[in-house]
Amino acid sequence: MNRLRLLLRTDGFKALWFLAPSAVGFSIFYLIPFALGLGESFMDGAGAGKFVGLHNYLELLHSSSFRKATTNTLIFTSIGVPLLIALSLGLALLLNTQLYLRNAFRTSIVLPLVVPVASTVVIWQIFFDWNGTLNEWLHRLGGGRIDWMQSDWSLGIIAIMYIWKNIGYNMVLFLAGLQSIPRDYYETASIEGAGPIRQLFHITLVYLTPTLFFVILISIVNSFKVFRETYLLAGDYPYDRLYMMQHYMNNMFASLDIQKLTAAATLMVCCIASLAIGLLTLERKFRENME
């Protein structure tokens, strides 16, 4: 009895009571549905289907639509994420200095975070539509009109939207990381003759690495969520270059092909989880080397 009382008074047990509501909500709305979906991916039909093993996954891998969606998603992530990281880090380094109108500039960069997705899409439609602003400028300059969302430029347009929407959040994270680096390190480096470039690579980027790993992970996750913008801009079946993984799953849901839907969702979750585990492992090894 005394042991039970001591257990109830421990900080760990008290923390469980605070975590319980969130854990229950996470289980009901995320964990249990995912487990049910995982089970459906091994069946040949919804409800009382037969167990077919990896048959649905093999069909998925042989599907040209799935391969196209996977390829486009990976291309988008491999282009959008590095550009987003580079631009947000550059802006953070710039705004970490004594820049004129720095606060106003920060506000303008962070502002897209509070703009709803639907409003963002309307802005992009006005600018890139066949009769939009950009084509009107091209027409006045003597150029021809371009159907931007039905051309190879479409992926670049979505990448620009993704960067514009997320650059403010990443910049804030980088700024927090930069301001946590003690100024004494820079003063010591300056006394020893290290210039700005050497300080950047040997102090700033080294101590900013944990933040960098986190920002990369968040950016990759957000790149898989670009479906909302693409769907509102181009609909269910967009130009081939814009056909993303979420388009495939959305179309499988519309056709009630639950098995392919859940199999595709499981593969995407495994892909994101593998990337997250890899990045966290690298970050932990880096911290161990730093210590």
Position with higher pLDDT, 174 vs 20: 174
The fraction of the chain above a pLDDT of 90, given in percent, is 8
**pLDDT value of position 3:** 67
pLDDT mean over 182-195: 83
pLDDT at 93 over 80: yes
* Average pLDDT, rounded, for the chain: 83
Question: Which residue in 231, 269, 232, 266 sits closest to 250, CA to CA?
Answer: 231
**pLDDT value of position 144:** 80
pLDDT mean over 266-279: 87
Q: Decide: 153 and 234 in contact? Cβ < 8 Å.
A: no
3-state secondary structure the chain: CHHHHHHHHCHHHHHHHHHHHHHHHHHHHHHHHHHHHHHHCCECCCCCCCECCCHHHHHHHCCHHHHHHHHHHHHHHHHHHHHHHHHHHHHHHHHCCCCCCHHHHHHHHHHHHHCCHHHHHHHHHHHHCCCCHHHHHHHHCCCCCCCHHHCCCHHHHHHHHHHHHHHHHHHHHHHHHHHCCCHHHHHHHHHCCCCHHHHHHHHHHHHCHHHHHHHHHHHHHHHCCCHHHHHHHHCCCCCHHHCCHHHHHHHHHHCCCHHHHHHHHHHHHHHHHHHHHHHHHHHHHHHHHHC
**pLDDT value of position 13:** 67
Alpha-carbon span 168 to 174, nearest angstrom: 10
Q: Which residues of 56-90 are buried (b: 16+ CB within 10 A; e: fewer)?
A: bbeebeebeebebbbebbeebbebbbeebbebbbe
Alpha-carbon span 111 to 105, nearest angstrom: 10
CA distances to 64, 130, 240 from 235, rounded to whole Å, are 20, 16, 12
**pLDDT value of position 2:** 62
Q: At 87, is the pLDDT very low, low, confident or very high (cuts 50, 70, 90)?
A: very high
Q: Cβ–Cβ contacts within 10 Å for residue 91, how many?
A: 19
Position with higher pLDDT, 286 vs 219: 219
Residues in contact with 238: Cβ distance below 8 Å, sequence separation at least 6, in sequence order: 149, 154, 230, 247
pLDDT mean over 169-189: 87
Length of the chain: 291
Task: Give 93: exposed, middle or buried? Use CB within 10 Å, 0-12, 13-18, 19+.
Answer: middle
Distance between terminal CA atoms of the chain?
43
Token representation of residue 217: 């992970």
Residues pairing with 109 in the sheet: none
**pLDDT value of position 170:** 92
Q: Evaluate if pTM is beyond 0.85.
A: no
